[in-house]
Amino acid sequence: MDAFATPFDVEAHAERMRADGFTVIEDFMEAGKLDVFKAALAPFLGAHRGRNEFEGFKTERVYTLVARGKVFEEIAADPRLMALIGRFLQPNFLLSASHAINLGPGETPQSIHADDGFYRQRRPRPPIGISVIGAIVDFTRENGATEIVPGSHLWGEPGDPGRPNDLAEIEKMLVPMEIPAGAALVFPGTLLHRGGANVTDKPRLAFTNQYCEPWARPQENFWLSVPREMVREMSPRAQSLLGYEIAPPFLGMVTASHPAKALEPDWEPPVVAQAPSADCA
């Protein structure tokens, strides 16, 4: 396992995730890195609001965060996260989504959901994704702290025995994750949760990075959104997270070649000749 600046008990965190459906890395980011994060994000804020109730009409979301600054790349490929997520997902797992969430004053609660529910494989099941939500400011009940339903990662489908089906009953089970700035909440994609309501006069700033199995399709299409020239300057681990790696035996190949070859300066896309069209006249 990688050496960390402070002791990190990956097995204890993994066990909490298996038992309760979540864990919190209290010291994920120190004060200096929080300042760097805020400064790097500032140029991208103020231009976008959510397009629906789920995104949040009073919430800003900055997508493709991993490619918008070195600090965001480092967070996405943090070795503690890589070790923890590796306890649940297969080798060469992928980054599925990476964005900042600036939840504004007056924002209403999200609908309760599971982050990997769109893969549409029947529950109960192992997670196909793992989610990380990092607090850049203190999360409180009043400013919209993420609310989770502990243990719901083990539930079956709606209507299955042992699963509450009344929404009001499930809402009563929600627990706000009141965590300090610099902490990171990590949970399997099967856990039910939502963003809370912000009844304060200040935004609640956070980031989320979501990861998925190497055989699953990521939410964000990083191959199109992140230029190869930019990926070339990233760490090998970040390159792998963006899909420049093979999931054995050959998922992710580029015309029978390893995708990392596409990052070589002299690489050119293979020319795929088109067969001449038949003259049917």
Going from the first residue of the chain to its last (281 residues), give the mean pLDDT of each consecutive group of 10, the final group possibly shorter: 68 98 98 98 86 82 96 98 98 97 95 95 97 98 98 96 92 98 98 97 98 97 95 96 93 90 86 70 54
> Does any domain span residue 120?
yes
Give the Cα separation of 216 and 117 in Å (integer).
12
Q: Which domain holds residue 22?
A: 10-263
Give the Cα separation of 42 and 134 in Å (integer).
17
> Does any domain span residue 237?
yes
Tell me what pLDDT residue 272 has: 75
User: CATH code at 48?
Assistant: 2.60.120.620
**Contact of 86 with 93, CB cutoff 8 Å:** yes
Give the Cα separation of 221 and 237 in Å (integer).
18
Contacts of 230 by beta carbon, 8 Å cutoff, 6+ apart: 67
Question: What is this structure's pTM?
Answer: 0.92
> Does any domain span residue 51?
yes
Q: How many domains does the chain have?
A: 1
Give the Cα separation of 141 and 262 in Å (integer).
46
> Does any domain span residue 182?
yes
Tell me what pLDDT residue 279 has: 62
> Does any domain span residue 277?
no
Long-range contacts formed by 38-43: CB under 8 A, 24+ apart: 38/136, 38/205, 40/68, 40/69, 40/70, 40/71, 40/72, 41/65, 41/68, 41/69, 41/100, 41/205
Burial class (CB in 10 A: 0-12, 13-18, 19+), 120: exposed
User: Residue 123's closest CA among 188, 210, 214, 167?
Assistant: 188
Q: What is the DSSP letter of 135?
A: E
> Does any domain span residue 15?
yes
> Does any domain span residue 210?
yes
> Does any domain span residue 275?
no
**Contact of 50 with 56, CB cutoff 8 Å:** yes
User: CA dihedral defined by 75, 79, 80, 86, rounded to 10 degrees?
Assistant: 110
**Contact of 99 with 1, CB cutoff 8 Å:** no
